[in-house]
Structure 1
């Protein structure tokens, strides 16, 4: 089915003066009778509306082991995302994450990180060029996203999680762009050569007091090349400095509201308002521990006990996140592949044994963060991300096949189709267009 949406006018207008049509904020809570009526309308119409929208998820991790001729996304995998799940759930476009964990700031560390990043770039290209070109294509512009959806295909986009693989060679920014990258974060969990990480809050140890000199140069080069700057992992000080320097809108590709849940990976109100002023977008993330840490930890204790019990039957040993981070990249990837498979296999057991007694973080908790962000910075500056296959997922939206649940919950809260369209893709597509326009202007000025 060809999606019907209204992005062309918005994108064209964004190049001149932004795109901020007047829309009503979500309605106040309805009476019990009105809520029942809304529930009925939603259940009858949500699928039709959901299929009419262009839905985009800005953060999905990948394991290169699932991008081979023998094992790949055309199959039903134990991952939260594969082509069948995307099509079943009406999730049209996903940004695959070229993720590299933070390592030593040495030439050897940079070389290993670059090898990891290039392998993941190659994996995405294999998917769209060799494995399933009839079902999914690579998109690097809003127009290419629209064209692929119009052809009845899925769209793959590429983001880079952690600029660490660049080393100190900023010429690689253009190389990453040429390979399809359209956003990149300056750090991950650990201070990079470019920026301090949010993780400095845990021990009060900082490396650059925000951005390094090289990080400031990277901001300028990303603006010039046309790669969106992603604020989801750097420290608050690094983010605020980036917002002062950048000539183009930014995004937070997978972050939620710190006022709702006080963890360093979420954005506080000062950051949110600065992103609004910048014209950027915060892609609310369905990562349970970022949404409601207390609720998640209570559920996790019981659910992971079930997983550990079942994992022992096959020899799989559960590990804490810090233990996993201490592994090398290959061992991390292997662990997470086994973990995801085990999680998928025991999900029915957890749902029966744990969820009725200890409720998990769910779609309602996720949309609570969307509500807060919309009220704080406006409908034009909020989007949606999952962090699937990287730890994300909540009850009700725990893999791509369940994507319509988010649309359903937004409808229940009286968001209009126009507003939901902005949340799912319109706002992010506007930023893509504006960043490309800024890059074009900067390149023209160079002569």
Structure 2
């Protein structure tokens, strides 16, 4: 769904010409009454160019990391290099994702093989396909050096510790391959941790972390991998924040008070995260931001997508069916869904004029709430692009600057925006790596 600047301008013209008492803005900054809409947009664009713009969660398909089809091209994927350039997205955390399978030796072996393919794809992009355009960063200093050279930055997160199996030494292996954050579970309980999905039926495997999960967490602290609490259960999250010697992150979560979804963090978790020194990366995932609004719009949009699918002789994307497919089948379903969405876009845009979709304003509403609760130093931004993320106004990397425009409209300063877009996350990475070095030094003196 494209959210052109003309639409933002109309929205801003309305807001700036009306009573602003309902707009949540930091007390230190207010929207100027004399600044025109055009001036505000230009100021936001200038800020966007100056700060490091970092998105902590971008999924990808291995099929898009080969010689004849890759991120140097403007593919249908929400993230690729041309779209990063267009939207001013500097740093993309590419995700080594593995869906949850059986807790068996065979399951672990398949998961590990999948993770290795994902790591290989990222290394192929940065070392063989486009080393002149994007480089892998392992530290915050790397990020700044690479951006100064004029290239984009790739970083690696691991979504689901399932591929570790029962081999704790793989934590160091993943670190050596470039992983700088990891979650201990995804959708489904892993051998390491309960998942948020247990909320639905209140059935748990570990009642938090397993003993193996606690050991893995210690290894992550030791080697400098940030602990990601976005997918585990609340009990597991609280335990991880208590046990971790370093700050944690939620790589793609929003506020549960603002929208009651098990993938979001409630106030108790957020306040514990503040105490821990971590950061929550507010996610642009429609059903996590406003489930009711999302359901209403999707119900209306479903008939449009179905009509297009029927005309093309294709099937709509189905997450359950997708999970059961092999790599070839998954690639086809994703490509088919991309084509269906592309052909449906004109009618979806028309629908958005009468039925309000979840948009950038909803994303920033969550940012506002969490900034007020735990402070600007503990909040960041993520998209979950190519993994289900995207809202009206920020539906791919090319539209990234629209988030900055909304933040400026709300009265956030350049310093605030710098922290939200990357400063906070890189500060946590620095802390985690510093503490890891301290742990290693202490162990070497024993």
Q: TM-score, normalised by structure 2?
A: 0.91
Q: Is the 8 A contact 1:195 1:208 kept in 2?
A: yes
Q: Is the 8 A contact 2:30 2:411 kept in 1?
A: no
Q: Structure 1 residues 224 and 38, CA, compared in 2 at 3 Å: closer, same or farther?
A: farther
Q: Which runs of 5+ in 1 are unaligned?
A: 1-23
- Of the three residues 381, 387, 390, the one matched with 2:387 is 390
Could you say which residue in structure 2 is the equivalent of 1:145? 143
Q: Is the 8 A contact 2:192 2:213 kept in 1?
A: yes
Alignment partner of 1:439: what SS?
Answer: helix
Q: Structure 1 residues 332 and 268, CA, compared in 2 at 3 Å: closer, same or farther?
A: farther
CA distance in 2, matches of 1:109, 1:350: 40
Matches within 5 A, 1:86-101: 86-101=84-99
Could you say which residue in structure 1 is the equivalent of 2:408? 411
Could you say which residue in structure 1 is the equivalent of 2:426? 429
Alignment partner of 1:313: what SS?
Answer: helix
Could you say which residue in structure 2 is the equivalent of 1:292? 290
Q: Structure 1 residues 351 and 28, CA, compared in 2 at 3 Å: closer, same or farther?
A: farther
Could you say which residue in structure 1 is the equivalent of 2:119? 121
State the Cα distance separating 1:327 from its structure 2 match.
4.4
Could you say which residue in structure 2 is the equivalent of 1:207? 205
State the Cα distance separating 1:341 from its structure 2 match.
3.7
Matches within 5 A, 1:19-98: 26-27=26-27, 34=32, 37=35, 39-98=37-96
Could you say which residue in structure 2 is the equivalent of 1:14? none
Could you say which residue in structure 1 is the equivalent of 2:107? 109
Q: Is the 8 A contact 1:27 1:415 kept in 2?
A: no
CA distance in 1, matches of 2:61, 2:290: 27
Aligned CA RMSD, in angstroms, stands at 1.8
Q: Structure 1 residues 168 and 38, CA, compared in 2 at 3 Å: closer, same or farther?
A: farther
Instruction: List per-residue Cα deviations over 1:207-246 (Å, max 9, x = no partner).
Output: 0001001001111010011100000000000000111110
Instruction: List per-residue Cα deviations over 1:80-133 (Å, max 9, x = no partner).
Output: 111000001100001001110000000111111111111111111111111111
Q: Is the 8 A contact 2:256 2:267 kept in 1?
A: yes
CA distance in 1, matches of 2:253, 2:342: 24
Q: How many residues of Structure 1 are paired with residues of Structure 2 in the alignment?
A: 421
Q: Structure 1 residues 433 and 108, CA, compared in 2 at 3 Å: closer, same or farther?
A: same
Could you say which residue in structure 2 is the equivalent of 1:167? 165
Alignment partner of 1:199: what SS?
Answer: helix
Matches within 5 A, 1:203-352: 203-327=201-325, 331-352=329-350
Q: Structure 1 residues 267 and 243, CA, compared in 2 at 3 Å: closer, same or farther?
A: same
1:368 and 2:345 correspond: no
Q: Is the 8 A contact 2:317 2:337 kept in 1?
A: no
List structure 1 runs of 4+ shifted beyond 6 angstroms: 28-31
Q: Is the 8 A contact 1:79 1:341 kept in 2?
A: no
State the Cα distance separating 1:206 from its structure 2 match.
0.6
Q: Structure 1 residues 196 and 332, CA, compared in 2 at 3 Å: closer, same or farther?
A: farther
CA distance in 1, matches of 2:198, 2:323: 16
State the Cα distance separating 1:35 from its structure 2 match.
5.5
Q: TM-score, normalised by structure 1?
A: 0.91
Alignment partner of 2:26: what SS?
Answer: coil
Q: Structure 1 residues 346 and 28, CA, compared in 2 at 3 Å: closer, same or farther?
A: farther
